[in-house]
């Protein structure tokens, strides 16, 4: 029996603000000395009061608009009360009743069809501090004591809560990928799961035999896309097994153990109904006027799907090409600059998605670090298009440009490609020279023993190498067979 | 007239015009504290040296011809739940026994910037939870008008200090009556401004939506001057309204109550309250009429019936949340334990007093799933209905009068055990807090036993200046409370002298 | 609707509040909570159909804090306030009990 899989995701994104949600401490905590980005407000010193960061409201609104949500003119904060060492006030200020943005959607592509995942809402809340456990493996279990660093405490988060519209682990992954892409396009969050600036909690249930909704299990602690997929797969099979054997699913929170590849029930921790929520009266409600919302709308950059459509239309590119080029907005911008500098769009697209990404990968760089100016790549690609340079030498030049500060001219000089293409008499001369240097090979071919043409290929390779890639392979092959034909007459 | 008997206005004027020095005023007030503190016990921490140094600084400023501020050289005390940089701030609790904040409450900064001289920190019920100032790490404060009685609370130390002439001014906080009721018990003037009028930054919270910094003094004019200094927008507190305040002192020029519509609250059984206090209310109504006001009876059925319950639910829930930060990790007292939870429990159980612990557990309960839906949730809506009821009322009235407390100050140690009578004690003050309205306790002399009588004057939210105007007209008839001579003689009359000696 | 607590809920509430109630005092605490719950159940009696939750109305909409970082100058002072500051960290006892 196949049970319907129902998945809803809660994605926490750390917002790219300069300061914390309720105080002026810097959000730049990674790698900082513990407890240096702190002040009386985020240490919950008695008497202090939260002061809402305008930048966080702007970024959350922007994300809301990107998800086609309605930005609320009026939203409120509440307190989620629970004791934990990383939570200084012993309550988290969050939005639970009237969030900043509601009812939107995100389209994802899965199995070559578009699926719409509805967004329930998006809200603002503050992050907790970090605990350091002085054990060999850094785990909580077995630690004789723990150390608290409040640098992260109060960093703004936006939580995007989806409707339970997701039906497979792959869709879940794709949803997070698209959400992350959107957040990055909007400069809302850098969305790094590894560093924790993007965190995913999943709610998953399997429908009952009669089609009614099953019991929901929450899964936490998935620190990569792979982990998300694996955890959901594991949980689906676990729940199926439980149900197949006539058991019942317990509503609970389970933690993903990546090393063991299992989810584990999270005991000893308060469950959702034990958190005590109530309105936060130290903060006035967030009032966002219509004119303010219009301002946010006006400031929206081009969204991923808009860019995809435009790229396909203006540059005549295929869906696959467009997807790769627009995956990161920085790469898309780079491609656009190459195209704007006059490069033939199709070949430029090919070069950016194949060669540029290859070099970046080799160098471990981001496109923002890339040394090759779009204008230089445009010129290079144009030369290749015009058959002034071969692709091979083009790649060599790109490698050079990416590794050293130099002009395209200097690179042409360095690779010896300055002279331009080798063809006609010059190429013929070269071929004759190489044939004279390889009498044995020439003899073998002449005697008809080169049945598979390997020897001829070998000669051709030597020619190409000597020509530093400046010879046209077709012309070379043509000339070679012509010379052999002449000599055997 | 002695220097310690001066109003803040008179003291500042005298200091500025060099009639006497800030040091002389400060010493006179310190002398009063020295003389009576042994019996009154109003002060947790005296900052004698800092006060004298500050007074000398004011005098030097004046000698140089500089503007020393509206409250130049005026001594004041602050309740020990105001953060004072470098001066220990205990909230009367073991959990903060040795805690000195690294910053000043905004109200403290405003007072200091106006030239006022802080003398020390006054006693309160632990975390402002109580109405008798008995529940404290330094023991009970005694009522300067009658040392066998409580001064009211929770700002009992501040009220006692003003009544006993330790200072002409003191700061308290009023959550559900914590300034108005001790002002009533000690026979001084006390005003809870509208919610949103004064910054709460640096106040150790009891309940965020109710706490309001509130001055105590012996004249209405001094209350107005205090508001002039305290009521202003504060970038550290967004619940403190950013609007431009009118002049609070300018409103005192009101000559009579002609054209004013004053309500007399009749929503209670006169048998449920002290006869003298009931009589005082009737007298006050007469004064209003005499001053030219139209006086009509009025009632607030929702506020009367639901006010106290709504207040308890709101305040206790909030207290449980605001007091959760005392976890023994970042500041305050700490008792070790083998695990985090045990450390929490050890610290909090040993360092919070019994009443505070009781209220925290109650508040926790009120916010728990199930209880929330039946208590906190409905209370939020009832509170809105109370606000609506007040809005309607103020279409018909400019202000209304009612008792501050149904009872006279009771004997120390006479703990009220009947919960219904206990709730009744707050019945006249908490609705005003829930509605965010300004309320003033106006002293009206003493009964035959020398115990203070008073009336509470309440206005529309943000009409604090207008309310002070009405209060100043009434004070001209009722008289200003004089300084008590604790343990020496019963206070009998209010003194009605105008102006300085 | 009026609610009450029993012995167990009283202890559960104390635990949630990180407070200890000695066994001999649980009954008293329970009664005290029930007294208040009894009295405060009044709030459920008023018809509040369609009434919004209370929030403060303000004369002027509060401005939001600009997103400009500032360093708090007094680090040393509040570090010294912490009962258990060690090195660069606040220190807590073990979070999970042994065994």
| pLDDT computed for residue C77 by the predictor | 64
| pLDDT computed for residue B498 by the predictor | 40
Q: Which residues, at least 6 apart from B53, have a Cβ–Cβ distance to it below 8 Å?
A: none
Could you tell me if C18 lies within 8 Å of chain B, comparing CB atoms? Answer: yes
pLDDT of B413-428, one tens digit each? 887 666 666 778 899 9
| pLDDT computed for residue A1 by the predictor | 59
User: B494 pLDDT exceeds 80?
Assistant: no
Indicate the length of chain C as a whole number: 99
User: B340 pLDDT exceeds 90?
Assistant: yes
pLDDT of B382-417, one tens digit each? 999 999 999 999 999 999 999 999 999 999 988 766
- Mean pLDDT, chain A, rounded, equals 90
* Distance in angstroms (rounded) separating the CA atoms of residues A69 and A102: 5
Nearest one of A157, A174, A155, A156 to A165, comparing CA atoms: A174
Alpha-carbon distance C61 to nearest alpha carbon in chain B (angstroms): 7
pLDDT grade, residue B461 (50/70/90)? Answer: very high
Extents of the domains making up chain C: 7-44
pLDDT of B200-247, one tens digit each? 999 998 999 999 999 999 999 999 999 999 999 999 999 999 999 999
Question: Residue C17: which of B328, B333, B364 has the nearest Cβ?
Answer: B364
pLDDT of A381-425, one tens digit each? 998 888 778 788 889 889 999 999 888 888 887 776 655 567 777
Residues B42/B140, Cβ–Cβ less than 8 Å:
no
Could you tell me if C13 lies within 8 Å of chain B, comparing CB atoms? Answer: yes
User: C99 pLDDT exceeds 50?
Assistant: no
User: A475 pLDDT exceeds 90?
Assistant: no
Q: Is B154 an annotated catalytic residue?
A: yes
User: B449 pLDDT exceeds 70?
Assistant: yes
Domains and CATH numbers, chain B: 3-302+383-478 (3.90.1300.10), 303-382 (no CATH)
What is the DSSP secondary-structure string of B8-74?
A: HHHHHHHHHTTSS-HHHHHHHHHHHHHHHHHHH--EEEE-HHHHHHHHHHHHHHHHTT----TTTT-
* Distance in angstroms (rounded) separating the CA atoms of residues B150 and A202: 58
Q: Is B79 an annotated catalytic residue?
A: yes
User: B278 pLDDT exceeds 60?
Assistant: yes
| pLDDT computed for residue B420 by the predictor | 65
User: B272 pLDDT exceeds 70?
Assistant: yes
β-pairing verdict for A101-110 and A113-126: antiparallel
| pLDDT computed for residue A267 by the predictor | 64
Catalytic residue among B178, B333, B443, B472: B178
A148 and B329 within 8 Å at the Cβ level: the answer is yes
* Percent of chain A scoring above 90 in pLDDT: 68
Residues B434/B311, Cβ–Cβ less than 8 Å:
yes
Tokens representing residue A165 in the block: 């519209």
User: A266 pLDDT exceeds 90?
Assistant: no
Could you tell me if B86 lies within 8 Å of chain C, comparing CB atoms? Answer: no
The count of other CB atoms within 10 Å of the CB of residue A300 is: 13
Question: Residue B242: which of C40, C46, C62 has the nearest Cβ?
Answer: C62
User: A489 pLDDT exceeds 90?
Assistant: no
* Percent of chain B scoring above 90 in pLDDT: 92
Residues B461/B438, Cβ–Cβ less than 8 Å:
yes
Interface-testing mutation among C53, C54, C69, with chain A (most A C-beta atoms within 10 A): C69
* Average pLDDT value for residue range B169-197: 98
Catalytic residue among B132, B154, B433, B491: B154
| pLDDT computed for residue B499 by the predictor | 36
A18-22, A431-435, B111-115, B331-335: which has the minimum mean pLDDT?
A431-435
Alpha-carbon distance C69 to nearest alpha carbon in chain B (angstroms): 15
* Average pLDDT value for residue range B63-88: 97
Query: In chain B, what is the straight-line distance between the N-terminal and C-terminal CA atoms, in Å?
Result: 6
* Distance in angstroms (rounded) separating the CA atoms of residues A39 and B103: 11
Contact partners for chain A, using 3 or more CB pairs closer than 8 A, are: B, C
* Average pLDDT value for residue range B426-442: 97
Q: Enter the ipTM.
A: 0.95
In sequence order, what are the beta bridge partners of B400? B263, B458
Half-sphere exposure of C31 (CA within 13 A, CB side): 7
Domains and CATH numbers, chain A: 5-294 (no CATH), 302-419 (no CATH), 424-488 (1.10.10)
Element (H, E) at B303: helix B301-322
CB pairs under 8 A between B and C: 181
Alpha-carbon distance B204 to nearest alpha carbon in chain A (angstroms): 5
* Average pLDDT value for residue range A442-449: 82
Element (H, E) at A108: strand A101-110
- C36 interaction partners in chain B (CB closer than 8 Å): 312, 316, 362, 419
pTM equals 0.91
User: A287 pLDDT exceeds 70?
Assistant: yes
B202 and A273 within 8 Å at the Cβ level: the answer is no
**Maximum Cα interatomic distance, chain A, rounded to a whole number of Å:** 103
pLDDT of A190-243, one tens digit each? 999 999 999 999 999 998 777 788 899 999 999 999 999 999 999 999 999 999
User: A323 pLDDT exceeds 70?
Assistant: yes
User: A50 pLDDT exceeds 80?
Assistant: yes
The better pLDDT of the pair B421, A145 is held by: A145
* Distance in angstroms (rounded) separating the CA atoms of residues A173 and A166: 10
The better pLDDT of the pair B15, A488 is held by: B15
pLDDT grade, residue A59 (50/70/90)? Answer: very high
- A80 interaction partners in chain B (CB closer than 8 Å): none
| pLDDT computed for residue B493 by the predictor | 47
User: B501 pLDDT exceeds 50?
Assistant: no
- A55 interaction partners in chain C (CB closer than 8 Å): 66-67
- A46 interaction partners in chain C (CB closer than 8 Å): none
* Distance in angstroms (rounded) separating the CA atoms of residues B430 and B421: 15
CB pairs under 8 A between A and B: 98
User: B497 pLDDT exceeds 80?
Assistant: no
SS3 state of residue A199 = strand
pLDDT grade, residue A451 (50/70/90)? Answer: confident
The better pLDDT of the pair A348, A141 is held by: A348
Alpha-carbon distance C47 to nearest alpha carbon in chain A (angstroms): 21
pLDDT of B120-134, one tens digit each? 999 999 999 999 999
pLDDT grade, residue A271 (50/70/90)? Answer: very low
* Distance in angstroms (rounded) separating the CA atoms of residues B203 and B213: 8
pLDDT grade, residue A460 (50/70/90)? Answer: confident
In sequence order, what are the beta bridge partners of A146? C92
Residues A76/C55, Cβ–Cβ less than 8 Å:
yes
């Amino acid at each position: 029996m196949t049970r319907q899989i129902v998945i809803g995701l809660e994605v926490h994104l750390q917002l790219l603000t300069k300061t914390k949600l309720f105080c002026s401490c810097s959000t730049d905590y990674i790698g900082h000395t513990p407890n240096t980005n702190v002040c009386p407000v985020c240490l919950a010193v008695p008497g202090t009061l939260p002061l809402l960061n305008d930048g966080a409201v702007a970024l959350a609104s922007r994300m809301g608009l990107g998800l086609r949500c309605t930005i609320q003119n009026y939203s409120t904060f509440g307190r989620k009360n629970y004791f934990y060492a990383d939570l200084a006030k012993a309550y988290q200020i969050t939005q639970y009743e009237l969030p900043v943005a509601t009812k939107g959607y995100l389209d994802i592509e899965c199995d070559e069809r578009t699926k719409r995942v509805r967004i329930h809402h998006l809200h603002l809340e503050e992050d907790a501090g970090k605990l350091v456990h002085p054990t060999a493996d850094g785990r909580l279990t077995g630690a004789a004591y723990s150390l608290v660093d409040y640098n992260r405490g109060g960093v703004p988060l936006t939580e995007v809560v989806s409707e339970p519209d997701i039906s497979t682990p792959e869709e879940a992954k794709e949803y997070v990928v698209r959400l992350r892409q959107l957040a990055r396009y909007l400069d809302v969050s850098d969305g790094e799961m590894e560093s924790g600036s993007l965190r995913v909690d999943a709610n998953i249930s399997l429908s009952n035999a009669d089609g009614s909704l099953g019991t929901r299990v929450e899964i936490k602690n998935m620190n990569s896309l792979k982990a998300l997929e694996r955890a959901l797969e594991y949980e689906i099979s676990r729940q199926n097994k439980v149900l197949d054997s006539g058991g019942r699913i317990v509503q609970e929170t389970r933690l993903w153990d990546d090393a063991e590849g299992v989810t584990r029930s999270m005991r000893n921790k308060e469950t959702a109904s034990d958190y005590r929520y109530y309105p936060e009266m130290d903060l006035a409600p967030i009032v966002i006027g219509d004119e303010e919302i219009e301002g946010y709308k006006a400031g929206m950059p081009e969204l991923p799907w808009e860019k995809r459509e435009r790229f396909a239309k203006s540059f005549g590119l295929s869906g696959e090409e467009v997807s790769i080029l627009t995956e990161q907005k920085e790469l898309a911008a780079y491609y656009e600059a190459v195209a704007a500098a006059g490069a033939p769009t199709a070949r430029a697209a090919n070069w950016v998605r194949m060669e540029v990404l290859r070099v970046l990968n080799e160098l471990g760089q981001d496109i923002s670090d890339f040394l090759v100016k779009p204008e230089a790549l445009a010129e290079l690609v144009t030369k290749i298009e015009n058959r002034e340079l071969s692709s091979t030498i083009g790649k060599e030049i790109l490698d050079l440009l990416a590794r050293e500060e130099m002009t395209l001219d200097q690179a042409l000089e360095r690779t010896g490609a300055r002279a331009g293409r080798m063809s006609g008499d010059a190429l013929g001369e070269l071929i004759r020279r190489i044939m004279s240097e390889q009498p044995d090979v020439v003899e073998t071919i002449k005697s008809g023993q080169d049945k598979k043409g390997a020897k001829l290929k070998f000669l051709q390779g030597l020619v190409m190498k000597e020509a530093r890639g400046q010879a046209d392979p077709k012309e070379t092959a043509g000339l070679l067979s012509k010379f052999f034909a002449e000599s055997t007459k | 007239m002695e220097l310690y008997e001066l109003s803040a206005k008179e003291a500042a004027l005298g200091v500025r015009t060099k009639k006497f020095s800030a040091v002389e005023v400060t010493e006179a007030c310190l002398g009063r504290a020295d003389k009576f503190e042994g019996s009154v016990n109003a002060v947790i921490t005296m900052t004698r040296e800092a006060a004298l140094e500050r007074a000398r600084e004011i005098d030097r400023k004046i000698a140089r011809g500089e503007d020393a501020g509206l409250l130049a050289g005026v001594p004041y005390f602050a309740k020990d739940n105001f953060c004072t940089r470098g001066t220990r701030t205990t909230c009367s609790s073991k959990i903060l026994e040795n805690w000195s904040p690294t910053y000043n409450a905004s109200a403290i900064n405003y007072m200091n910037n106006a030239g006022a001289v802080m003398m020390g920190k006054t006693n309160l019920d632990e975390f402002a939870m109580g109405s008798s100032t008995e529940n404290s790490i330094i023991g009970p404060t005694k009522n300067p008008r009658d040392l066998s009685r409580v001064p009211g609370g929770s700002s009992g130390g501040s009220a006692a200090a003003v009544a006993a002439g330790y200072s002409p001014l003191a700061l308290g906080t009023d959550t559900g009556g914590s300034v108005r009721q001790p002002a009533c018990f000690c026979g001084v003037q006390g005003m809870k401004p509208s919610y949103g009028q004064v910054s709460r930054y640096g106040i150790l919270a009891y309940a965020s939506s109710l706490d309001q910094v509130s001055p105590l003094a012996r004249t209405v004019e001094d209350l107005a001057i205090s508001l002039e200094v305290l009521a202003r927008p504060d970038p550290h507190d967004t619940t403190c309204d950013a609007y431009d305040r009118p002049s609070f002192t300018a409103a005192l020029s009101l000559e009579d109550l002609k054209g004013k519509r004053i309500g007399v609250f009749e929503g209670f059984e006169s048998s449920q309250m002290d006869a003298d206090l009931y009589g005082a209310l009737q007298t006050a109504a007469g004064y209003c009429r005499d001053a030219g006001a139209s006086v009509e009876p009025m009632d607030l059925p929702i506020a009367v019936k639901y006010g106290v319950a709504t207040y308890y639910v709101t305040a206790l829930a909030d207290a449980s949340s605001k007091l959760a930060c005392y976890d023994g990790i970042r500041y305050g007292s700490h008792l070790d334990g083998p695990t985090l939870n045990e450390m929490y429990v050890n610290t909090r159980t040993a360092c919070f007093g019994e009443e505070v612990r009781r209220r925290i557990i109650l508040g926790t309960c009120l916010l728990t799933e199930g209880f929330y839906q039946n208590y906190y949730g409905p209370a939020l809506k009832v509170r809105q209905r109370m606000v609506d009821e007040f809005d309607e009322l103020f279409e018909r009235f400019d202000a209304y009068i009612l008792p501050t407390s149904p009872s006279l100050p009771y004997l120390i140690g006479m703990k009220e055990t009947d919960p219904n009578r206990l709730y009744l004690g707050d019945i006249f003050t908490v609705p005003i807090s829930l509605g965010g309205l300004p309320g003033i306790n106006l002293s009206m002399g003493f009964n035959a036993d020398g115990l203070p009588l008073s009336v509470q004057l309440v206005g529309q939210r943000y009409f604090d200046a207008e309310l002070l105007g009405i209060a100043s007209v009434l004070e001209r008839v009722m008289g200003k409370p004089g300084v008590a001579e604790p343990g020496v003689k019963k206070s009998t009359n209010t003194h009605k002298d105008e102006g300085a000696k | 609707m009026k609610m009450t607590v029993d012995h167990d809920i009283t202890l559960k509430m104390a635990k949630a509040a990180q407070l200890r109630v000695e066994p001999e005092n649980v009954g008293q605490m329970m009664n005290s909570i029930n007294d208040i719950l009894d009295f405060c159940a009044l709030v459920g009696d008023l018809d509040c159909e369609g009434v919004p939750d209370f929030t403060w109305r303000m004369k002027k909409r509060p401005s939001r804090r600009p997103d400009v970082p500032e360093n708090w100058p007094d680090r040393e002072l509040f570090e010294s306030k912490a009962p258990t500051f060690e090195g660069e960290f606040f220190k807590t006892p073990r979070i999970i009990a042994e065994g």
